[in-house]
Amino acid sequence: MQERAKKLKRARHRRKLSVRKKIYGTADRPRLSVYRSLNQIYTQLIDDDKQRTLTAVSSLSPEVRKSLKGKKSKVEIGKMVGLLLAKKAAEQGIKKVVFDRGPYLYHGRVKAVAQGVREGGLEF
């Protein structure tokens, strides 16, 4: 069973590198990185030139938690995270981003984050 887990981890890493070699974030157009765990979702805007995180929002952020009245689905939470990230980016004067989905398919929570960011006013 351990060998299967190692094989899956290598495959995930290979997919991540395949996506990352095509994507590069700058100060004008930062990289929007998405990490998805079992229960949470994390997003960051990254300037790869300076190797700095410009802003970050996750489903654990107090702003997101405050707006969670009642039980929401993970997809709805992902969309809220995207909207909040777009709002924070607009405050910093960022209008365009490069979307880095990592090793994940553009589906479900990852897609919801992208839709939330677009609704918030950022362009891909």
**Tens-digit pLDDT profile for residues 33-74:** 999 999 999 999 999 999 999 999 999 999 888 887 777 899
Summarised one tens digit per residue, pLDDT across range 12-21 is 899 888 888 8
pLDDT of the residue at 113: 97
pLDDT of the residue at 71: 74
SS3 41: strand
pLDDT of the residue at 19: 84
The answer, yes or no, to whether residue 120 has pLDDT greater than 90, is yes
Return the domain boundaries, the chain: 2-119
68 dihedral zone (left: phi>0; alpha: psi -120 to 50; beta)? beta
- Model-level pTM? 0.86
CA atoms within 13 A of residue 115's CA, in its CB half-sphere: 13
54 vs 76: CA distance, rounded Å:
24
CATH 3.30.420.100 corresponds to the domain 2-119: yes
pLDDT of the residue at 96: 94
pLDDT of the residue at 121: 95
| Local confidence band at 25 (pLDDT 50, 70, 90 cut-offs) | confident
Q: How many CB atoms lie within 10 A of CB 44?
A: 19
Summarised one tens digit per residue, pLDDT across range 71-113 is 789 999 999 999 999 999 999 999 999 999 989 899 999 999 9
Q: How many CB atoms lie within 10 A of CB 2?
A: 6
